[in-house]
């Protein structure tokens, strides 16, 4: 609940379902001024089975939204693979076990398009049946891939008992989001490769929050890529829209430079280098079948300009 997307989603849920009661948790400090509403309770807890089971036992939950995972950003620049495996993979398994044990009706989990990986032979517009190859080259993405695969198996195994949804969004961006891509775009020292200019997809933070809220009652069980149609933009153009000073540099120099930066407060994961070389473009055709026309309100241009400040 301390994350920007969780706060935006909470506000959207309160708007879409005025009678709902929301209980949000986080292992981090949750600023009380972020969401002030009598329908919302928050609690800082340790992510252990005992703490989660107590929550499920003490509250009659109808829907569980699992939006949090330990990612590679400045909030945890030294997080080890073992820590992320425990937090993301084992933590997710605990929640999924409790969803079944306590007969929860709806379960939504947030994954990422990064599970597909960026390779020179990656086809354009990957669908949900595409192989999850991200961990083949970079073991640091193993936790994300394992979490997604674990959730996928669980979803189809339990589809008769719970409506389960896995979202694999493209880059979620917005002034309230703190992830690798937002930090890269907003950084004044971020290197920009001279010799590569891959295509990227972006989804606005508010559109993502609206989608999660909408999915609770309007989208069936399934795995869905999330992107705003065929709205794509090259990396160089994206940096121009954000209007941040950048350092043009050959990619062969970027890798050791990133390793140097990793010893500073601005930490960059090694796998990002591959996404600065090769495009990883996903198809959201499956999701669009369940959305009304013009569901997304923010195009890439508008979303990137919101990062200028």
pLDDT band for position 265 (cuts 50, 70, 90):
very low
Residue 263 has pLDDT above 50, yes or no: no
Across the range 60-82, mean pLDDT stands at 68
Residue 116, in any domain of the structure: yes
Residue 292, in any domain of the structure: yes
Q: What is the percentage of the chain residues whose pLDDT exceeds 90? A: 63
Across the range 256-270, mean pLDDT stands at 59
- For 137-156, write each residue's pLDDT tens digit: 877 788 889 899 999 999 99
Task: List Cβ<8 Å contacts ≥24 apart for 272-275.
Answer: 272/180, 272/184, 274/117, 274/118, 274/119, 274/137, 274/138, 275/114, 275/118, 275/198, 275/200
Residue 248, in any domain of the structure: no
Residue 260 has pLDDT above 70, yes or no: no
Residue 82, in any domain of the structure: yes
Mean pLDDT for the chain? Answer: 88
Residue 24 has pLDDT above 60, yes or no: yes
- How many independent structural domains does the chain possess? 1
Residue 191, in any domain of the structure: no
- The Cα 92–Cα 149 span in angstroms is 11
Q: CA 112 → CA 22, 47, 52, 69, distances in Å? A: 24, 21, 24, 11
Three-state DSSP at 114 gives: helix
Residue 72 has pLDDT above 60, yes or no: no
Residue 192, in any domain of the structure: no
Residue 266, in any domain of the structure: no
Residue 61 has pLDDT above 80, yes or no: yes
Domain that holds residue 123: 4-186+201-232+281-299
Range of weakest confidence among 9-13, 35-39, 205-209:
35-39
Residue 30, in any domain of the structure: yes
pLDDT band for position 249 (cuts 50, 70, 90):
confident
CATH of the domain at 9: 3.40.50.720
- For 296-308, write each residue's pLDDT tens digit: 999 999 999 999 8
pLDDT at 173: 97
């Amino acid at each position: 609940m301390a994350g920007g997307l969780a706060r935006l989603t909470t506000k959207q849920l309160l708007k879409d379902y005025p009678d709902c009661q929301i209980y949000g948790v986080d292992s981090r400090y949750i600023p009380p001024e972020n969401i002030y509403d009598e329908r919302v309770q928050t609690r800082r807890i340790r992510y252990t089975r005992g703490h989660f089971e107590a929550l499920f036992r003490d509250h009659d939950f109808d829907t569980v939204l699992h939006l949090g995972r330990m990612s590679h950003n400045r909030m945890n620049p030294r997080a080890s693979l073992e820590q992320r495996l425990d937090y993301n993979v084992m933590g997710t398994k605990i929640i999924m076990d409790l969803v079944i044990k306590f007969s929860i009706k709806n379960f939504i989990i947030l994954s990422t398009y990064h599970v597909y990986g960026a390779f020179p032979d990656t086809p354009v517009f990957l669908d949900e049946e595409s192989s999850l190859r991200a961990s083949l080259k970079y073991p640091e993405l193993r936790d994300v891939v394992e979490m997604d695969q674990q959730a996928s198996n669980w979803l189809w195994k339990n589809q008769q008992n719970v409506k389960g949804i896995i979202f694999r969004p493209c880059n979620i961006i917005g002034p309230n989001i703190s992830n690798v891509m937002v930090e890269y775009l907003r950084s004044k020292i971020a290197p920009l490769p001279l010799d590569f200019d891959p295509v990227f997809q972006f989804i606005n933070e508010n559109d993502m929050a609206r989608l999660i809220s909408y999915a609770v009652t309007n989208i069936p069980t399934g795995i869905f890529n999330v992107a705003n149609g065929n709205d794509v933009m090259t990396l160089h153009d994206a940096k121009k829209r954000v209007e941040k000073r950048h350092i043009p540099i050959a990619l062969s120099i970027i890798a050791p430079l990133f390793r140097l930066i990793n010893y500073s407060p601005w930490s960059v994961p090694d796998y990002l280098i591959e996404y600065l070389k090769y495009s990883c473009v996903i198809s959201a055709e499956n999701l669009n079948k369940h959305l009304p026309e013009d569901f997304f309100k923010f195009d890439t241009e508008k979303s990137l300009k919101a990062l200028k400040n």
